[in-house]
Structure 1
């Protein structure tokens, strides 16, 4: 149940609603998404939420990843002598140009904050998101996006450790497989935040 939350001290954080995931020819869309029904539902619910947020004056944050200005992936040492996503991203050639792009309704509008400088799985890692939130006196985050068990979970954990109250909007997130998503819901969320869904959140914003 949402309570003791104000519009002025909250932000809706849209994590990687970008073409790598959303376009039919997106590299991550093609290679990683196995359970497509919950993924499509998450995109549709994200669209409902961003429309409601815009209509009701809530803070919208676009927390993606764009490495177009670093074609050699120097940030990640070109994928050499590193592990995990720092190796996988350069090998896959993701988050460059078209893949990093955004399409309506997730293209940023004037007055919406676009996160820059991110260097990790968490959208808070070395990025401009934390100073933006603190300068706005925002302490409550609603997290949505992809993938639930990777960047969304990493962001949830880091938000907790940095002192934010974070909600996973569970039906506006998706993982590669449904079981991965449900694992985060069952075993992770309650340690680091709480959960809500599209119906509850939009009703609260519009109430």
Structure 2
């Protein structure tokens, strides 16, 4: 069983530059269809996680000239433009609540150069749920490092996506075999230990199937 008190949902890179048709990834001709169809599932999962009292952490990418090393910049000119503007860094179709936590990162992994680990340890978090984009880059990088820091990692297969289904499924295969487990949000929900309110459970279960 999973106790929400010791669990955090990490929502990774749901930002304009990664998701919007006016964002930098769209300008690179990336297929946003898998991203778009996943957004409503992420939004519903966030709401239901909040209802359990779970910690919600938004992981946002931002880049500035003083954080871009020569090695990092060698990814190409187009990559240098991602999340460099205020609009590009803004959340896409999601809203922050007062109780949510925001962590800004400059690399693929949300643990590199951030206070994420300190936040998790300070709140006695043991289990990490992962949602967001993209499965094969920033999600996978963060899951891998979280697992190697001895967190129990669960990648939500229905709340993550890539710019191609091949990349998404390949990442899930790697993560499920070597870096924790892969589950749907409904499967995780059924393992939560907040089952003291039957009315809430019945209502939430109905929402899961909606």
Question: 2: distance between equivalents of 1:152 and 1:31?
Answer: 20
Q: From the superposition, tell whether residues 125 and 176 of structure 1 become closer, same or farther in structure 2 (CA, over 3 Å).
A: same
CA separation in 2, counterparts of 1:94 and 1:24? 14
Find out whether 1:102 has 2:91 as its counterpart.
Answer: yes
For the pair 1:61 / 2:57, whether they are aligned, the reply is yes
Q: Residues 93 and 160 from structure 1, CA distance in 2 versus in 1: closer, same or farther, beyond 3 angstroms?
A: same
Matched, 1:50 2:46: yes
Aligned pair 1:128/2:149, yes or no? no
Alignment of 1:18-167 (within 5 A): 18-31=15-28, 33-34=30-31, 36=33, 38-67=34-63, 70=64, 73-77=65-69, 81-83=70-72, 87-88=75-76, 91-95=79-83, 96-104=85-93, 106-116=94-104, 118-167=105-154
- Aligned-partner Cα distance in 2 for 1:35–1:103: 13
User: Unaligned stretches of 5+ in structure 1?
Assistant: none
Deviation at 1:20, TM superposition (A): 1.2
Is residue 175–residue 182 contact of structure 2 (8 Å, CA) maintained in 1? no
Aligned CA-pair RMSD: 2.1
1:185 aligns with 2:172: yes
Report the 3-state secondary structure (helix = DSSP H, G, I; strand = E; otherwise coil) of the residue aligned with 1:188: helix
Shift of 1:103: 4.3
Aligned residues: 193
Report SS of the residue matched to 2:9.
strand
Instruction: Name the CA distance, whole Å, in 1 between partners of 2:16 and 2:191.
Output: 29
Contact 1:41 1:172 in 2 (8 A): no
**How far is the alpha carbon of 1:204 from its aligned partner?**
4.8
Q: Secondary structure at the match of 2:28?
A: helix
> C-alpha deviations, 1:105-148, integer Å up to 9, x for none?
x23211111013x2321111111111000000101100111111
Q: Give ranges in structure 2 of 5+ residues lacking alignment.
A: 193-199, 202-210
Deviation at 1:33, TM superposition (A): 3.1
How far 1:179 moved relative to its partner? 0.5
What is the TM-score normalised by the length of structure 1? 0.84
Do the aligned partners of 1:10 and 1:59 also contact (CA within 8 Å) in 2? Answer: yes
